[in-house]
Each structure stands twice: as structure tokens, then as C-alpha cells.
């Protein structure tokens, strides 16, 4: 592996970890939004702040990659990984916004399970970022793949429930919009994992 | 053209053909789902298997491109083409899932026509992949462009029908979700064709 | 900055300006669609023509970048900027199509405000393209960021209104589809601005 021979700028691993930590924070906020008696408007505001913080980290990575002579892996890949992490945050922020705006009295229990999956994805991603340095990331992206498959199954169950006749059309519209955004969040984690896999294959 | 001067790894053309063949299979499954008396759950399951097979081909391309010293065209372009082909499969799988889950008794006839377009796109794409070797792909991407325009027209007719007062809101929601996914499938084929066009322009 | 040392093909700045001018045209058409007594079908047709014209400009950029030996900035970035500008046009065309097809009698006043934001984005983008030559683009992408935040707020207000009980489910479906497409248009402008920012950071 060509990797260990390069003078490596360790700051990138630090920044990617920081970026993933924003996602851990965001997924925790999402989970809190489904708890009883939460002030959802307050949580949505916290989420917007978390999203701004994530934006700043992304910008820092992009500026550093363009100023650094020797990067630990391909410039293009650093850039793409930074933006793919940022995309996850954008989906989370959208989900929080919708949950707040739609004023749904009570979400079906399956929704919280989907958010559990999101939290596990965030934690796995945060744990994997420092391991980019040794390319010990196979177990990470395989596990994200498994969580994504679990998310798909859970998505299908939720859709079946939504259209089961229990909800009126306006409620279906609201709930489906939230479900779709939660699913997009998990898919965005999978896109991050595919980018990491590609970096590992290339560098190993 | 620099192309014929390079020692070419023919395996890539073979793998792209294989990738496009999964789309031919997927589009045939979609067509079967609209036939009378089909076991839609069984077809959706077959589609998930086709999607897994397509995933394996994509991974094989990505791993090969990262291990091969001389590639027939830009590494980045091989990579992008592999993922754009994979995106089509993801849309098809989503369409199959929704058609199964929504348990629509009868789809408007226009839906099957949209699937016809999808099948023609898949066959054109599969026929074009071996021709990447000689860059004889102009007729292919022009024809995909024409099919995409036909798809747009057909989409507009379907939307007009859906909102014509014949369907209740829940049915509109279900049918529109399927229509949008079929349209996204055709758009994904167009994105593949644009990638092929770009490769042809660059290499010729 | 390495920039001024290169023999620059000025045609690219000209073509990017042309590409952005199509967006100015498109956003004006969108605004006209919300005016009283407009022939929406005629405007949607004009939009489709504007989209075809934009496609031709995009293709010209892509072909030129692949034929030109020395480009003013990274080949990949020229390519990406061309396609990101084109993506905005596609969203605008989709919005125009939906506005026409859905035959909504009267749009809430907030919709026209969202289109105002889109027009300002288009004008800022068109004004920024010639300034790529001197990389004097910071004020541009910062302002697009501000407009995008304003768009988000306005989006939230519109969603609250749509689900406020005043509209039936079918109307909500139609109006939400339009609102989502207008929001996607603003997001597409932000993606252009991020691409421009990245070019500026890299080249400066």
C-alpha cells in the first residue's frame, strides 16, 4: 500500500471525524424529536445550528484540500467524501423540519425504529473516519450495507401501514414525506460508505 | 483517436455489457408486473435479486478499474459509467417495490407504455456497450434522447389523467409515486447516455 | 495565482455567461406563469424551447473542453459547472410543466415570492460568470447562500399554509409538487454557487 509512504496531513482524518460527529449529533436530535412531549420547534432549531456547524467543517475540508500539496488520498476523493457527509446532514435537517412543520400528533412506532437505524449508521460512520488512516474500513461499509437493507424492509412495512386505510390522505402525505426523508438519510449514509469503500480499494 | 493505440483491457467492455444486461432483465420484470394475474410479490423479489446481481457487477468494475494499470478510457469515466448504470437498476427496483406494495387493482394503460419505453432504453443500452470499443455510439445516445422526450410527453399525459377527477387522493398518491419512479428510470438511462456521449467525445 | 499565467481560452467565460442567460430567460418565464391571465400552456412551451437552447450551450461547453488543450481551469470543473447550470434549467422546466398541467386556479401569494428569489439567483449567477475570469466571485456565492436560506424560510411558510386545512388533499398534492420543484430550483442554484466557490478556492 502506497499509503504509509506518503507524508500524511493528519488534519484530514481529524476533520472527517468532526464532520461525522455532526451526524451523530443530528441523529440524536432526530431521535429526541420522536420522544413524547418534546419541543419539536426547539429541536428543529438545534438541528439547523448543527447543519450550519457541519457546513463550516465541510468548507474547511474543501479549502484545506485545495491548499495542501500532499494529501493522504486523492484530492477528488477527499472532496467527494466531504460533500457526501454533508449531504447526510442536509437530509437530517430536512427530516427535522418536516417533523416540526407537519405537527403530526403521533408517529407510528416504526418511525422511531428507522431513526434507531440512522443513529447506528451515524455512530458507525464516526467510528470509521479515524480508521481511514489504516484503511481498516471493510467491516464498516459492509455493516452500513446491512443497515440499509434493514432500512429498506422497514420502509416497506411503513408504506404498507400508511396505505392500510387507517390514515386520511393528508396524513398519508405528511407521514410519507417524513418516511421518504428518513429513507433518503439512510441512503445518504450508504453513499458515504461507498465512497469510503472506493478510497480503500484504490489506496490498498 | 488515441484509443486504438492503447493496449486495451477488453474485460471492461464485457463487464459494462453484463451491467446493461441486468437492466434488460429488470425492465422485462417491470413489464411482467403490469401483466394481468402476475404474482407481483414474486416479481418484486426477482427484481431484488437482479439488483443484487447488478451490484456485484458494479463492484467488480470498480475494483478492476482501481487495480488495472492501463484502462481503455479515463478511470474516472469508467467509474462514473458503472455507477450511472447501477442507478438505473436502483430506480427499477424502487418501481417494482412500489407496484407491489401499493396493491393497485388496475393501472391506467399509459403505465405499460412507459415501461415499453424503458425496455427499449435497456435494449439500446445493452447493444451500445460493446460498441464503446469502436466509439460507434452516436446513434445510441441520440435515440435515448428521443425516447426520453417521448417519455416526457407520456408523463404529462399520465399526470393529466391522474388529476382528471377519476381517482381519489390516496389513489393519486400511489399512482403518482409509480409514475414518478418510471420517469426517474428513463431519466437515469439518459444520464447513462450522456456519460457515454462524453466518453466518445473525449476519446475520439 | 497560477491563473493569469496561462494562455486562456476566453470562449469558456462567454459560454458560461450564455448558459446563465438561459436561466435568466427561464426564471422570467416562470414569473410570467404566475401573472393573471397568462396562457400557461404557451409559456410552458417557451420554457421547453429555452431548455433545448440551454442543452445546446451545455453540449458546446462539453465538446470544447474535450477538444481544448489549455483550459482556463480544471477540465473536470468546467465540465461540472456546465452540468450544474444545466440542472437548474431542468428544474425550471419541470416547474413550468407542473404549473401548466395542474391547472391550479390561483396560487398562494407566497409562490410568486419564491419565484422572485429564483429570478434574483439567476441574475446574480449571470453577473458572476464573466467575473470567473478574475475570480471575483465571493460576494456572489455568499449572496446565493443568503437567498437559499430565505428560500428555506419561505418554503417552511408555504408548507405550513398548504397543510393549514384550507386545501383539500388533491390540491395539497399539486401545490406541494410545485413548491418542492421551486425549492429544488433554488437548491440547484446553490449547487452552482458551491462549484464556483470551489473553482475560486482552487485557482486563487
Closest-approach residue (CA) in chain A for C74: A76
Q: Chain-wide mean pLDDT for chain C?
A: 92
Q: CB–CB of C101 and B76 under 8 A?
A: no
Neighbours of chain B (3+ CB pairs under 8 A): A, C
Q: Which chain B residue has its CA at the smallest distance from C63's CA? A: B201
Instruction: Kindly give the interhelix angle for C169-203 and B169-203, rounded to the nearest 10 degrees.
Output: 30
Smallest CA–CA distance, residue A154 to chain C, in Å, is 25
pLDDT value of residue C130: 95
C4 inside domain: no
Query: Which chains have at least 3 CB atom pairs separated by less than 8 Å from chain A?
Result: B, C
**pLDDT score, position C106:** 87
Mean predicted confidence (pLDDT) in C156-168: 94
Residue of C nearest to A90 (CA): C187
Contact B64, B11 (CB under 8 A): yes
**pLDDT at A8 (0 to 100):** 58
Give percent above pLDDT 90 in chain C. 78
d(CA B2, CA C110): 55
Query: What pLDDT is stored for residue B99 in this prediction?
Result: 96
User: Are B198 and C76 inside 8 Å of each other by CB?
Assistant: no
Structural domain tally of chain B? 1
**From the CB of residue B35, how many other CB atoms can be counted at a distance below 10 Å?**
10
Q: Quick check: is A81 in a domain?
A: yes
Comparing CB atoms, the residue among A76, A97, A102 nearest residue C163 is: A102
In a domain, A3, yes or no: no
User: B169 and C174: CB-CB below 8 Å?
Assistant: no
DSSP string covering A23-53, please? HHHHHHHHHHHTSTT--HHHHHHHHHHHHHH
Which one is predicted more confidently, C170 or B201? C170
Q: Which domain holds residue A19?
A: 8-203
Is B117:B151 a contact under the CB 8 Å cutoff? yes
**Does the residue B4 lie in any domain?**
no
Residues of A in contact with B67 (CB under 8 A): 201
pLDDT of amino acid A3: 44
Q: What is the pLDDT of residue C73?
A: 85
Give C-chain residues touching A98 at CB under 8 angstroms: 159
pLDDT at B4: 40
Q: Judge contact between A16 and A129, C-beta under 8 A.
A: yes
Q: How far is C50 from chain A (nearest CA, A)?
A: 30
* Position with higher pLDDT, A98 vs C203: A98
CB A20 within 8 A of CB A192: no
Query: Would residue A139 count as lying in a domain?
Result: yes
pLDDT of residue B8: 58
State the nearest Cα–Cα gap between C151 and chain A, in angstroms.
13
Residue C1 resides in a domain: no
Report chain B residues touching chain C, CB-CB < 8 A. Answer: 76, 156, 159-160, 163, 169, 172-173, 176, 198, 201-202
pLDDT for position C93: 96
Give the model's pLDDT for residue C158.
Answer: 95
Q: Spell out the long-range contacts of C103-108 with Cβ–Cβ below 8 A and sequence spacing 24 or more.
A: C103/B163, C104/C171, C104/C174, C104/C175, C104/C178, C107/C34, C107/C175, C107/C178, C108/C158, C108/C161, C108/C162, C108/C175
Q: Which three cell numbers stand for residue C194?
A: 458551491
CATH number at residue B135: 1.20.58.220
Residue B88 has pLDDT above 80, yes or no: yes
Does C148 score more than 50 pLDDT? yes
Neighbours of B141 (CB within 10 A): 20
Give the one of B76, B97, B174 whose C-beta lies nearest to A156's C-beta: B97
Mind telling me how many Å the CA of B130 is from chain A's nearest CA? 25
Of A156, A172, A202, the CB nearest to B101: A156
More confident residue, C62 or B146: B146
Query: Is B163's CB within 8 Å of C169's CB?
Result: no
Interface probe for C, chosen from A66, A84, A180 (most Cβ of C below 10 Å), is A66
Give the span between the Cα atoms of C116 and C114, in whole angstroms.
5
The pLDDT of residue C161 is 93
Query: Please, which chains are in contact with C (at least 3 CB pairs closer than 8 A)?
Result: A, B
Best mutation target among A148, A180, A194, A196 (most B Cβ atoms within 10 Å) is: A194
Selection from C10, C2, C6, C47 nearest residue C132 by Cα:
C10
- Contact state of C156 with A101 under an 8 Å Cβ cutoff: yes
Which chain C residues contact residue B172 at CB under 8 A?
A: 170, 173
* Per-position pLDDT tens, chain A of length 204: 344 444 556 899 999 999 999 999 999 999 999 988 899 999 999 999 999 999 999 999 988 988 887 888 888 899 899 999 999 999 999 999 999 999 998 899 899 999 999 999 999 999 999 999 999 999 999 999 999 999 999 999 999 999 999 999 999 999 999 999 999 999 999 999 999 998 988 887
Per the domain annotation, does A184 fall within a domain? yes
SS3 call for A15: helix
For residue C152, pLDDT beyond 50: yes
Decide if B66 and A156 are in contact by the 8 Å CB cutoff: no
What's chain B's average pLDDT? Answer: 92
In a domain, A2, yes or no: no
Q: At residue C31, does pLDDT exceed 90?
A: yes
Cα–Cα distance, C203 to A56 (Å, whole number): 20
CA angle B116-B117-B122, nearest 5°? 95
Beta carbons within 8 Å of B153's beta carbon, 6+ residues apart:
none
Q: Is the pLDDT of residue B5 over 60?
A: no
Mean pLDDT of the C47-60 span: 96
Q: Which DSSP letter does residue C168 get?
A: -
Amino acid at each position: 500500500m502506497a499509503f504509509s509512504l506518503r507524508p500524511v496531513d493528519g488534519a484530514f482524518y481529524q476533520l472527517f471525524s468532526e464532520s461525522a460527529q455532526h451526524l451523530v449529533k443530528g441523529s440524536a436530535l432526530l431521535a429526541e424529536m420522536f420522544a413524547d412531549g418534546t419541543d419539536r420547534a426547539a429541536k428543529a432549531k438545534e438541528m439547523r445550528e448543527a447543519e450550519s456547524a457541519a457546513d463550516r467543517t465541510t468548507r474547511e475540508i474543501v479549502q484545506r484540500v485545495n491548499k495542501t500539496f500532499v494529501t493522504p488520498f486523492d484530492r477528488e476523493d477527499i472532496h467527494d467524501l466531504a460533500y457526501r457527509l454533508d449531504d447526510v446532514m442536509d437530509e437530517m435537517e430536512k427530516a427535522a423540519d418536516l417533523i416540526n412543520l407537519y405537527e403530526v400528533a403521533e408517529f407510528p412506532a416504526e418511525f422511531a425504529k428507522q431513526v434507531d437505524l440512522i443513529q447506528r449508521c451515524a455512530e458507525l460512520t464516526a467510528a470509521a473516519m479515524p480508521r481511514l488512516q489504516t484503511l481498516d474500513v471493510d467491516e464498516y461499509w459492509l455493516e452500513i450495507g446491512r443497515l440499509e437493507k434493514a432500512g429498506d424492509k422497514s420502509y416497506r412495512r411503513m408504506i404498507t401501514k400508511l396505505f392500510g386505510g387507517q390514515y386520511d390522505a393528508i396524513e398519508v402525505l405528511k407521514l410519507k414525506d417524513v418516511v421518504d426523508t428518513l429513507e433518503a438519510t439512510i441512503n445518504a449514509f450508504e453513499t458515504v460508505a461507498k465512497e469510503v469503500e472506493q478510497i480503500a480499494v484504490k489506496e490498498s
